[in-house]
Amino acid sequence: MVARTGNRWWIVSLWGLVMVSALGVVHTTHQSRVLTAELEQAQRYRDELRYEQERLLLERGAWSAYSRIEQVAKEQLNMHAPKPSERVLVTAN
């Protein structure tokens, strides 16, 4: 009888370990899926930010072009290139 009780204990213990292992696999698989979804979302956000950065760089380039600056200076600020008679020479002491 002692042998049967000992065998049952081993079977129950092994069965319990298999169940714990199975639950660990389920938990790990779930965490992996959650983290993969978060990674994909972060990569989409990164791509959107890259696109926005490129668009802003192009826009900055257009706004800072010399022709654009000259146009704004002439039209909105009524500026013009100084004539030779309007130039003043500043000397250093």
Q: Map out the domains of the chain as residue ranges.
A: 2-80
Residue 2 predicted with pLDDT over 70: no
pTM of the prediction? 0.55
CB contact burial 6-21 (16+ within 10 A = b; e otherwise): eeeeeeeeeeeeeeee
Task: Give the integer Cα–Cα distance in Å for 69 and 76.
Answer: 10
Measure Cα distances from 91 to 82, 88 in Å.
Answer: 18, 10
**Which pLDDT band holds residue 28 (cuts at 50, 70, 90)?**
very high
Other CB atoms closer than 10 Å to residue 74's CB: what's the count? 12
- The string of pLDDT tens digits covering residues 49-67 is 999 999 999 999 888 888 8
**Which pLDDT band holds residue 3 (cuts at 50, 70, 90)?**
low
- Residue 31 amino acid letter: Q
Distance of CA 30 to the CA centre of its chain: 24
Residue 91 predicted with pLDDT over 70: yes
**Which pLDDT band holds residue 1 (cuts at 50, 70, 90)?**
very low
Task: Give the integer Cα–Cα distance in Å for 59 and 63.
Answer: 6
Residue 75 predicted with pLDDT over 80: yes
